Structure 1
Amino acid sequence: MDSCCQTSTEKPRTPTQCPVCHHKGKIIQLITLKSLLQPAALETIHPESNYAFCTNSSCEVVYFSDIQTFGKDILKVSVFQKNDALDVPVCYCFGWTRERLIQAVQENQHPLDHIREQIQANRCGCEVNNPQGACCLGNVTTFIRSLDKS
């Protein structure tokens, strides 16, 4: 017989699709939300829930779980995937904005080499700096390649 006070050890499932735009989300760690949500939003998270990151650039939702969503307006930073301004970071750990990357490429510098060196030196903190909760190298590479095509 089960006790009425017994808590379940099962974690809630992680939703796979954003409840607003229905794009597939990317699972993130709770530490990412704790690091990047503004205080008022932080007070509303459900630590027992699993959260995902919505990558759809046209969707206002950044994080979602099976019971709540967080929009881009309640984060401490602008989200690369959701804001195409030049001053928005592409690499959050080392301050590489779109504008800085454009300038570096025009001056024949190699920002990818710089970022890789920092990663190899174990200096990045993507899980707490980057809203997507993962390494930015893919975003940086894609952005630099897009400059070559323009």
Structure 2
Amino acid sequence: MDSCCQTPTNPKTIYTCPSCLRNGKAVPSITLKAMLKPSALENFRPEISYAFCSTPSCDVVYFYDLQIFNKDTLKVPVFQKDNSTEVPVCYCFNWTRERIKSVQDKKQPIDHIREQVQADRCGCEVNNPQGACCLGNVTVFVRSLETLQ
């Protein structure tokens, strides 16, 4: 199964966000093509390998060297950078913070997403701004709810 939720086997490169100076993770170019608003897409350079900045307090979402794309250049809000209850934690299957909080069994979102991944239905590389599987984000969010109880 060739899935967006598989672990990549390519060598790791260190990317440092020019704004917050924290490490970012490589993101496929298809993600930027899917996420950027048309005005920002005109400045996208497909030959460059961009990275995703997950730092919540940083406005930068994608970067390469000094070229950046901020939150306001994306078509969707970014889970890591927007605390709204309606922002998706899982973009493929619309598991928002609010929806996850509303289910009785907090494992239900994780199980549901795993089933969809197994059925090769996820499209994280084009639906999720981080360009990678959301299951880690969902798991961390669910655990944070469990510690509050």
Residue matched to 1:95 = 94
Report the Cα distance in structure 2 between the residues aligned to 1:64 and 1:25, rounded to whole angstroms.
9
TM-score using structure 1 length: 0.87
Residue-by-residue CA offset, 1:29-52 (whole Å, 9 max, x unaligned)? 100000000000001111111100
Report the Cα distance in structure 2 between the residues aligned to 1:17 and 1:65, rounded to whole angstroms.
8
Residue-by-residue CA offset, 1:70-117 (whole Å, 9 max, x unaligned)? 00011011000000110000000000000000001xx22611111100
Contact 1:126 1:133 (C-alpha < 8 Å) held by counterparts: yes
Which of 119, 122, 134 pairs up with 1:121? 119
Please state whether the residue corresponding to 1:140 is helix, strand or coil.
helix
Q: Which protein is bigger by CA-based radius of gyration?
A: 1
Report the Cα distance in structure 1 between the residues aligned to 2:91 and 2:47, rounded to whole angstroms.
27
State yes or no: 1:17 paired with 2:16.
yes
Alignment of 1:12-51 (within 5 A): 16-51=15-50
- Which sections of structure 2, spanning at least 5 residues, go unmatched? 1-12
Residue matched to 1:8 = none
- Root mean square deviation of aligned Cα: 1.1
The answer to which structure, 1 or 2, has the higher relative contact order (CA under 8 A, 6+ apart) is: 2
Contact 1:49 1:66 (C-alpha < 8 Å) held by counterparts: no
**Runs of 4+ off more than 3 Å:** none
Residue matched to 2:105 = 108
Aligned residues: 135
Q: Percent identity?
A: 61
Please state whether the residue corresponding to 1:127 is helix, strand or coil.
helix
Question: Could you tell me how far 1:15 is from its partner in structure 2?
Answer: 6.3
Residue matched to 1:144 = 142
